[in-house]
Amino acid sequence: MTNEENSKEIEALLKATISLVQDPELRRDLWPQMLRKLDEQRSPVDHVPWFDWALAGILGAVLFLFPGAIPALLYHL
């Protein structure tokens, strides 16, 4: 059997195994789900956990008090 015939055989087996998706019906209006997602994502700043803000604040304070640490921090990034 040539490669081409073999490929045709594989294609035929695939079609025989996995059927066409015929007229898939959207069962519900997705707009309410879309609106929820928009509301959730609209202000991502509000969703940053408080401890992330705390860490950022501590880091800012350390860098302000010890500016010599900045090159060391950049080196390790």
Partner 1 sequence: MELLERFAAGDLEAFEALFRQHQREVYTWIVRIVRDSGIAEDLTVETFWRIYRSRSRFDPAGNFRAWSRRIATNASLNHLKTARRETELPEDLASAGAADPAVRRETREQIRKAFFQLPAKYRVVATLALIEEEPYNNIAEAMGISAALVKVRVFRAVRILRRKLNSLGAEAGAK
**Joined tokens for residue 37:** 């997602």
With H, G, I as helix, E, B as strand and everything else as coil, classify residue 2: coil
**How far, in Å, CA of 77 to CA of 74, rounded?**
5
60 in contact with partner 1 (CB under 8 A): no
- Report in angstroms how near the CB of residue 11 gets to partner 1 at its nearest: 5
Each residue 5-44 as x (binds partner 1 by CB under 8 A) or -, in order, gives -xx-xxx-xxxxxxxxx--x-xxxxxx-xx--xx--x---
**How far, in Å, CA of 74 to CA of 68, rounded?**
11
Which residues would be at the binding site for partner 1 (CB under 8 A)? 1, 6-7, 9-11, 13-21, 24, 26-31, 33-34, 37-38, 41
